[in-house]
A and B are shown apart, each in its own frame.
Chain A
Amino acid sequence: MILSQFIILGAALFSLGVYGVLTRRNAVLVLLSVELMLAAVNINFVAFDVFLRDSIAGGQIFSLFVIAVAAAEVGIGLAIVLLIFRNRQSANVDELDLMKL
């Protein structure tokens, strides 16, 4: 197999995710972009697992973990976004500057 194809795919996907996180104003899209970054990580995990012929398939197992964590994260994240929207009638992250004192 050609490892570089998968790594390039992963890097491209990760960069897309970063771009989305930094430029999108809608909190739901920011979350989606985070999911893209996690998917890139998963691709890397699986690719290296196969490339290195890991006997206990650690990379694949970890990618399953990441998927589980990502699902949980999205669940909580969307719940927060929903609450923020209910309170402010907006999901624009630029308006969420309460962390500034």
Chain B
Amino acid sequence: MLQLLTNLNTIILATEEGGGHAEALSDGGVLASMAWLIPVVPMVAAFAIVFFGKKMPYKGWDIAIGVMAFEALYGTVLLLSHISNPIAKDFSVEIAKIGDMAIEWGWSVDGLSIMMYFVVGVVGFLVFAYAKGYMEGDIRFTWFFASFTLFAGGMLVLVSAPNFIQLIVGWELVGVASWLLIGHYWEEHENSSAAIKAFLTNKVADVGLFIGAIMISMSVGSFRFSDVMHAIEEGAAHSPVLAQFAFWAGLALFIGAMGKSAQFPLHVWLPDAMAGPTPVSALMHAATMVTAGIYLVGRMFPLYAVEGFADEVRWIIITIGALTLFLTGLIALVQDDIKKVLAYSTLSQLGYMMAAMGAGAYTAGLFHLFTHAFFKALLFLGAGSVIHSVHSNNMSDMGGLRKHMPQTFWTFAIGSVALAGVIPFAGFWSKDEILASFEYAGGHYTAAQGGAALGTAVLWIAIAGAFVTAFYMTRTVWLTFFGEYKGKAHPHESPKIMTYPLIGLAVGSALFGFINWPGVTHVFTDIVGGRAYEGFHDLEHHAESLNAVLALLGLAAAGLGWYLGWRIWGPDRETQAERDTFKVNGLYPVLEKKYYIDDAYMNGVIKPIRGPIAAAMNWFNGHVLDFIVNGAGLLMKSFGKVVYWFDQRGVDGAINASGAVTGAGGGMLRLLQTGKVQQYAILIFAATVVLVAGLVIWF
């Protein structure tokens, strides 16, 4: 490896003055140059668990948790070092060449990557610890942790990528690992279908990623992100090819992001992905997989932000994001499965992030990704703790668990208020920044970007979304933890290995909002800013101070949602049954059918394709393939007969003949062996005499 390190093509970005970030970016020293360990260690560990996991004292969990502890530690140290001394450096090792374009493996150490290392490491560590308690007794315990480590490792490969090729590799690793994990309980057909659905939906979107990556790389002439950024930095006039393709390339990349980040209408896989074990849902919805799309848009942010490139894609992004955040939030209201409520809530929050990216608010979108990672992991793990205790996913089997599982209840409550955006929990700060960015977009969007009216409309949708969020979270908390217990199991608090991660995440959910208090702290802005702002002036707008009106509006929306939720599902309703069957006519049937999108895909896309194809395949199989196979069989049979004859007569004959010849020869030669020493001596002397005579005559 040392030799590799010395052969590295390292790029040190020339440090320039960027908007308010004039301090020089460091290369991070040994901490950055050894960061290749971050993606490599979990990938190696995943295989190590497969081969040696069963022999370990904790059946492979020990390897997995060790790796995640390393990731968490490395991520934290890197983040702290980055805060005190911003790092921006790419390392690349060339592995092949196509024409002039180098295919490279590398690792990127800059604000965006470091933030993701931290989130994946820390949230991943807590989820892995929790998973030991949750998966205890599972028949594929070791295999689960192998795939889980592969999942985290794939995400780390993705976020450490300094070029498109590696990004795609990581992207697909995450996809494969998610398929393995969602289908973990594959004995039930429903679960394996969910895994296939997730994989195929992502594959459809991946086509967009490939096209976008190819268009951008070809027009820039390099797979490296730094070269792409450099081309954008020089402006549309200097990079005419890229500028020409930027809109379609940006759109294609966004379609890729829509798949992984489950944006409307490619969101259908995510709720079904609840079929996997709860820790998988927690990690998938918080730190890995669904954040990949947001990360991709963040990584390519200058492409979408700089005028003359893909800035016109932004109105598509913000529209899709707004649709996602509102429509999917509503579906969460009618779900009985607690994990599905959280799944739709994730969709809604991803909509927030994506819409913020569309509004040009890089920091706000990533900040929500960051805080969301903590409180959504917390909520999922809390839900998992409840499910572990009552042996059911359905809220109609829960209720009154507050007394039985106090730690789960309190941490879940913290996660809920953080998600609902209640001051001072983390969700409030990030959501408020997003609202502020919509307001700014409402005032500054040009016609090409969809017009100022779009920004304003999205602002109101987002506020309505905050209301819906609080509404369904109140319902969830109430149905799960208050009222009377409706299930049949005996609820109990989960073991410490499960509650401690909950507490850890609750601390994060409560406190991490303060690191970006507009006008007071800007730690997060600096973390993700550093490199992205370099060379780009005024890439995004930053709120100078907390926007009191928006904050109050957001809080009011959340408060109203909480109040309504409490009125409807709270204890002052007449009976439990009435609370359980609350419905809004006209709206709820549509929501229960999830806007008929899944049905539309099933009837409009899958069945028309699958039906004729299946029939054609059957015909092809019955007529063509069987004919070929039977014909081949007959041919082989007659050939076999020829071979048999040849074997019996030809080969066996030759072998028998050689045996007979040898036997006869031996029979004659054995006469020479008399055992009489002097006879042998005579033969030797006679032979010597003959040889000597021959020698004399010859010369």
Contacts and interface: CB of A to CB of B under 8 A. Distances in A.
Interface string A69-101: 000000000000000000000000110111111
Nearest to A100: B675
A100 B673 contact: yes
A21 B681 contact: yes
Nearest to B678: A22
Interface in A12-66: 18, 21-23, 30
A96 B673 contact: no
B682 interface: yes
B682 A97 contact: no
A93 B675 contact: no
B675 A99 contact: yes
Contacts of B678: 21-23, 30, 93-94
B345 to A, nearest CB: 93
B675 A22 contact: no
Interface string B673-692: 11111100110010000000
B677 A93 contact: yes
Contacts of B674: 97, 100
Interface residues of A, number: 13
B677 A101 contact: no
B24 to A, nearest CB: 86
Contact of B676 (A18, A21, A94): A94
Nearest to B680: A99
Contacts of A22: 678, 681-682, 685
B670 to A, nearest CB: 8
A101 to B, nearest CB: 7
A97 B685 contact: no
Nearest to A94: B676
Contact of B675 (A21, A23, A30, A97): A97
B685 A96 contact: no
A25 B652 CA distance: 50
B14 to A, nearest CB: 84
A22 B673 CA distance: 17
B552 to A, nearest CB: 113
A96 B685 CA distance: 20
Contacts of B681: 21-22
A100 B670 CA distance: 9
A22 B689 CA distance: 14
A40 B519 CA distance: 119
B677 A98 contact: no
Contacts of A18: 685
A94 B680 CA distance: 12
Nearest to B676: A97
A98 B685 contact: no
A94 B673 CA distance: 14
A96 B682 contact: no
Contacts of A93: 676-678
A99 B685 CA distance: 19
Nearest to A101: B673
B675 A98 contact: yes
Interface in B295-319: none
B255 to A, nearest CB: 87
A91 to B, nearest CB: 12
Interface centre among B674, B675, B682 (most CB of A within 10 A): B675
Contacts of A101: 673
Contacts of A30: 678
Nearest to A21: B681
Contacts of A100: 673-676
A18 B673 CA distance: 21
Contacts of A23: 678
A23 B674 CA distance: 16
A15 B682 CA distance: 13
Contacts of B675: 96-100
Nearest to B685: A18
B685 to A, nearest CB: 6
Nearest to A27: B677
A21 B683 CA distance: 13
A21 B682 CA distance: 9
Nearest to B673: A100
Nearest to B677: A93
A99 B672 CA distance: 12
A27 to B, nearest CB: 9
A76 to B, nearest CB: 16
A6 to B, nearest CB: 19
A97 B682 CA distance: 15
A46 B675 CA distance: 37
A97 B679 CA distance: 11
A18 B676 CA distance: 16
A26 B674 CA distance: 18
A30 B681 CA distance: 11
Interface in B648-699: 673-678, 681-682, 685
Contacts of A96: 675, 677
A21 to B, nearest CB: 6
A23 B675 CA distance: 16
25 contacts: A21-B678, A21-B681, A22-B678, A22-B681, A22-B682, A23-B678, A30-B678, A93-B677, A93-B678, A94-B676, A94-B678, A96-B675, A96-B677, A97-B674, A97-B675, A97-B676, A98-B675, A99-B673, A99-B675, A99-B677, A100-B673, A100-B674, A100-B675, A100-B676, A101-B673
Given A93-B676, A96-B675, 17 more contacts: A18-B685, A22-B678, A22-B681, A22-B685, A30-B678, A93-B678, A94-B676, A94-B678, A97-B675, A98-B675, A99-B673, A99-B675, A100-B673, A100-B674, A100-B675, A100-B676, A101-B673
Interface of A: 18, 21-23, 30, 93-94, 96-101
Interface of B: 673-678, 681-682, 685
